[in-house]
């Protein structure tokens, strides 16, 4: 039988309020706050006889799962950073040219000879000529369809002859552009500056009769072909040592090759 000491019983303490806010950037902090709150509420909530007897285990399991995911995400980020670091030098390396000495891009493809550039730009099927935008300038090119983002918009790799340039819409689905080079006998690395470049050492002049090019052009072309053959063999070119070309001219006088000065 209890003893009444004459004092009134104290009112029970007000229940604690859980006021933590979930922050998506810090889920572990929220779970820890919930765990601390549950601990302050009293150990009886973890008793086996209560409906919430597994609360502590669930919270701990959730904490471990979140920590594990954060570790995995950190490891994946480290691996991605390492891969990116390893890829960076290769991004600047020139790409092999396509079969026409150019490159196939996402929005267009381009090809070249030593004399001119040809660009193929796909447009939506059924496009009419009056809707095509093709602005050719000496050192820039803009191509697209009215009402849509431009497909090409930038500074050309080198200058072109605007008066001799032209374009046409083929089958209402491809804009074909011809750009004669101002500086002949030079390979372009890209159509537009800033785009991926090609390895011009792997460009091929192609098969063409040289006697129809004119006297000086023929001589220059034969010299380019000679140097290209030397490079393929790993031998000195006329730029490395002009005596190499002079000896070749002496052995093949009928090829009409330009003579060079002797090496120093």
- In this prediction, residues 119-124 reach a mean pLDDT of 95
Task: Identify the weakest region by mean pLDDT among 74-88, 155-169, 235-249.
Answer: 74-88
Higher-confidence residue of 52 and 143: namely 143
| 136 — pLDDT class (breaks 50, 70, 90) | very high
**Mean pLDDT, rounded, of the chain:** 76
3-state secondary structure of 241: coil
Give me 258's structure tokens: 């330009």
DSSP state of 254: G
| 45 — pLDDT class (breaks 50, 70, 90) | very low
What pLDDT, on a 0 to 100 scale, did the predictor assign at position 261?
A: 45
Higher-confidence residue of 84 and 146: namely 146
What pLDDT, on a 0 to 100 scale, did the predictor assign at position 46?
A: 46
3-state secondary structure of 113: coil
CA-based angle 92:227:199, to the nearest 5? Answer: 15
Q: How far is CA 204 from CA 69, 114, 233, 257, in A?
A: 53, 9, 15, 19
């Amino acid at each position: 039988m209890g003893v009444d000491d004459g004092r009134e019983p104290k009112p029970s303490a007000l229940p604690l309020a859980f006021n933590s806010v979930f922050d998506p950037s810090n889920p572990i902090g929220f779970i820890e706050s919930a765990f601390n709150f549950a601990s302050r509420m009293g150990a009886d909530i973890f008793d086996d006889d209560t409906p919430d007897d597994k609360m502590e285990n669930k919270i701990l399991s959730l904490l471990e799962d979140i920590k594990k995911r954060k570790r995995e995400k950190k490891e994946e980020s480290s691996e991605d950073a390492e891969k990116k670091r390893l890829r960076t030098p290769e991004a600047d390396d020139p790409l092999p040219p396509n079969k026409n000495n150019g490159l196939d891009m996402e929005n267009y493809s381009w090809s070249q000879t030593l004399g001119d550039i040809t660009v193929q730009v796909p447009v939506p099927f059924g496009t009419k000529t009056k809707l095509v935008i093709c602005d050719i300038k000496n050192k820039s090119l803009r191509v697209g369809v009215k009402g849509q983002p431009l497909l090409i918009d930038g500074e050309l790799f080198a200058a072109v002859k605007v008066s001799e340039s032209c374009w046409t819409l083929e089958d209402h689905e491809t804009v074909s552009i011809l750009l004669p080079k101002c500086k002949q006998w030079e390979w372009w690395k890209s159509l537009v500056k800033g785009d991926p470049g090609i390895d011009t050492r792997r460009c091929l002049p192609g098969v063409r009769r040289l006697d129809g090019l004119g006297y000086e052009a023929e001589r220059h072309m034969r010299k380019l072909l000679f140097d290209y053959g030397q490079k393929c063999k790993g031998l000195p070119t006329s730029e490395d040592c002009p005596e190499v070309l002079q000896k070749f001219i002496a052995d093949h006088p009928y090829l009409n090759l330009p003579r060079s000065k002797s090496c120093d």
